[in-house]
Amino acid sequence: MGLARAVEVAERVSISSYTTMGLGGPARFFVHARYDADVRAAWAWARERGVALRVLGGGSNVVADEAGIDALVVHVDTRGIEWREVADAVEVTVAAGEPWDDLVRCAVAREWAGLECLSGIPGRVGATPIQNVGAYGQEVSDTITAVHALDRTTGETVSLPPSDCGFGYRDSRFKTAAPDRWIVIGVTYRLQPMGKPTVKYDELARHLAARGLTTPKLSEVRESVLEIRRAKSMVLDAADPNRRSCGSFFMNPIVHAAHARQIAMRIGTGMPHWAQPDGRVKLSAAWLIEHAGFTKGERAGTVGLSSRHTLAIVCHDGARPRDVVAFARRIRDAVAERFDVRLDPEPVLWGELSLEN
């Protein structure tokens, strides 16, 4: 079955080999998009035939149903990094299919500040504005100047400024407000040549201090971030027994200040929390999970928590998508019962999977 002149539509392609959890049944249709034109052609093909369309990048944020995906899955594998100097900054435009950490490595090597704390995060560039990816004191929305996307309603390519992206904590317009409208094909970031690294996260600051680095370079911050993430099995490593995960399965919840105080008083011990600009308080999902009775390495058959981090749900031999969802639901319900706090998942669930009972 041909698509345009350069792209081939395959049928019943297993998704499991394209996801970091190693799970997922067959996609009804599948396109490996190496160029932006392939993405546009795939969108047109699906629209003409009334077939649903799903976009897949690095597969590090997807739990796919083993029953299969009744859609055309477009695997975005485009490449390209371009930059230009503007005033006191450099604007870097990157194809959606570029591996994220390759971009961070490139920026740090060229001494462009702005992405160094986001080292080691798996996935592709195209996912970063959707999730508003963040870690260790930085978020991509701090540097994004434009998101280039295919508008599925018109077929036109648009460049959206940050003000139109609806960025929030691990959120954006692409994820929540209109998740089926755009396909991200590129992102432009504004970085600072010879800029100072961002060191405002306590854990990172302590790690740098332990290395005797009071005025660290960008490369030294990247090294520390990678060491911290590696110690938590949050860097993809084929030899790591915790490797089959989506990283953090739950987002840190944000609650009203009064609710946070109630939880702290009930527990009677130090509770990690961070004041937000709107007066609410961000809590640690990992802390809530642990104080709801779960421990690192705990297993329920073929799935369990990472032996290094209670936020990561790990698949073992024989794991199935429904096992992951059932275990995640058990964690979510335990936290809700103990603290009256709802944990929302970071990964998207494809097919008939749902955390709702």
- What is d(CA 324, CA 315) in angstroms, rounded to the nearest whole number? 7
Question: What one-character DSSP code corresponds to residue 21?
Answer: T
> Position 67: which residue type?
A
Residues belonging to the active site = 170, 248, 346
- What is d(CA 35, CA 3) in angstroms, rounded to the nearest whole number? 13
- Written as six digits, the tokens of 347 are 């990964």
Instruction: Using the structure block, give the residue that is written with the tokens 């317009």.
Output: 173
Per the CB < 8 A criterion, the answer to whether 137 and 199 are in contact is yes
Burial track 311-327 (b if 16+ CB lie within 10 A, e otherwise)? bbbbbeeebebbbbbeb
Mention every residue, 6+ apart, whose C-beta is less than 8 A from residue 196: 113
Q: Give the length of the chain.
A: 357
- Nearest-5° Cα angle at 77, 316 to 52: 80
